[in-house]
Amino acid sequence: MPGTRSTGLLALGGIALAALLTVIGHLEVNDDLNPWALTVSDFAVSDRGGVIDVAMVVLALATVALLYGLRRTGPPRPRSGRPVELLLGAWVAGLLLAAVVPTNEPGTVMTAAAYVHRYASVVAFLALPAGGWLLARRPDLAPAARALRALVVLSLALAAAMIWSAYPGDRLLIGLAERLLILTEVAVLGTVAVALTRTPVARWVVTPARGA
Residue 134 is predicted with a pLDDT of 95
pLDDT at 47: 59
Q: pLDDT by residue (tens digit) across 18-27?
A: 999 998 888 8
CA–CA separation, 177 and 181 (whole Å): 6
pLDDT in tens, 115-158: 999 999 999 999 999 999 999 999 889 999 999 999 999 999 99
* pLDDT band at 161; cut points 50, 70, 90: very high
For position 3, what pLDDT does the model report?
53
What percent of the chain stands above pLDDT 90? 60
Q: Which residue has the higher pLDDT, 89 or 166?
A: 89
CA distances from 8 to 129, 131, 154 (A): 19, 17, 24
Q: Is 176 within 8 Å of 40 (Cβ atoms)?
A: no
pLDDT per position as a tens digit, 61-90: 999 999 999 988 765 554 557 899 999 999
pLDDT at 78: 47
The confidence score (pLDDT) of residue 205 equals: 39
Q: Is the pLDDT of residue 208 over 60?
A: no
Tell me what percent of the residues of the chain surpass a pLDDT of 70: 86
Q: At what angle do helices 112-135 and 174-197 cross, to 10 degrees?
A: 40
| Mean pLDDT of the region 195-206 | 63
Query: To the nearest whole number, what is the mean pLDDT of the chain?
Result: 86
CA dihedral 26→180→45→125, nearest 10 degrees, is 150
Q: What is the pLDDT of residue 21?
A: 92
Q: For residues 132 and 202, which has the higher predicted lDDT (pLDDT)? A: 132
Nearest to 197 by CA among 5, 15, 64: 5
